[in-house]
Structure 1
Amino acid sequence: MTVAFVGAGNMGGALVERLCEAGWSVAVCDTDPLRQRQALAAGASLADTPLSAVAQLGPLDALVIVVVDAEQCRDLLWGEQGAANGLRPGQAVVLCPTIAPEDTVAIAQRLAEQGIDCIDAPMSGGPQRARDGRMSLMVAAPAAVVQRQAGLLDALSLNVMRISERVGDGARTKLVNNLLAGINLVGAAEALALAGRMGLDLATTLDVIERSSGQSWIGSDRMRRAIAGDLAPRAHVTLLEKDTRLAVAAARSVGFEGPLGAGAAGVFQAAHEAGMADLDDAALLSFLRQNAPRP
Structure 2
Amino acid sequence: MTRPAAPYPVAVVGVGNMGGAMAARLLKLGWPVQVHDIDARKHVTLLAAGAMAHASPAQAALGCAAVIVCVVDAVQCEQVLFGPQGLAGVMPPGGMVLLCPTIAPQDTERLAGRLVRHGLEVLDAPMSGGPARAREGSMSLMLAGPDALVARHETLLGALSSRIFRISERVGDGARTKLVNNLAAGINLVAAAEVLAMARAMGLDLGRTLDVIEQSSGQSWIGSDRMRRAIAGDYVPRAHMTLLEKDTRLALQAAQAAGYSGPLGAAAAQVFARASAAGLADLDDAALLRWLEDPS
- TM-score of the superposition, structure 2-length normalised? 0.96
Name the structure 1 match of 2:5: none
The alignment yields a C-alpha RMSD, in angstroms, of 0.8
Offset at 1:165? 0.5
Q: Is residue 119 from structure 1 mapped to residue 126 from structure 2 by the alignment? A: no
Q: Is residue 290 from structure 1 mapped to residue 291 from structure 2 by the alignment? A: no
Name the structure 2 match of 1:27: 34
The 1-side partners of 2:228 and 2:60 are apart by 39
The 1-side partners of 2:216 and 2:154 are apart by 39
Q: Is residue 254 from structure 1 mapped to residue 268 from structure 2 by the alignment? A: no
Offset at 1:197? 0.8
Matching residue within 222, 229, 236 for 2:233: 229
Name the structure 2 match of 1:243: 247
The 2-side partners of 1:228 and 1:23 are apart by 37
Name the structure 2 match of 1:186: 190
Name the structure 2 match of 1:50: 57
Offset at 1:53? 0.8
Matching residue within 155, 165, 171 for 2:169: 165
The 1-side partners of 2:115 and 2:283 are apart by 35
Which AA in structure 1 matches 2:142?
M
The 2-side partners of 1:250 and 1:206 are apart by 33
Count of residues paired in the alignment: 289
Offset at 1:56? 2.5
Q: Deviations over 1:45-69 (max 9, x none)?
A: 0111111111122xxx111000000
Unpaired runs of at least 5, structure 2? 1-7
Name the structure 2 match of 1:18: 25
Offset at 1:39? 1.5
The 2-side partners of 1:283 and 1:42 are apart by 32
Matched-pair contact (CA < 8 Å) for 1:76–1:82: yes
The 2-side partners of 1:291 and 1:111 are apart by 44
Q: Is residue 279 from structure 1 mapped to residue 283 from structure 2 by the alignment? A: yes
Matched-pair contact (CA < 8 Å) for 1:8–1:30: yes
Which AA in structure 2 matches 1:69?
D
Unpaired runs of at least 5, structure 1? none
Offset at 1:33? 2.9
The 2-side partners of 1:89 and 1:139 are apart by 21
1:66-105 to structure 2, matched below 5 A, reads 66-105=70-109
Name the structure 2 match of 1:270: 274
After TM superposition, the runs of 4+ consecutive aligned structure 1 residues lying more than 6 A away are none
Name the structure 2 match of 1:204: 208
SS at match of 2:294: helix
The 2-side partners of 1:208 and 1:34 are apart by 41
SS at match of 1:291: coil
Name the structure 1 match of 2:199: 195
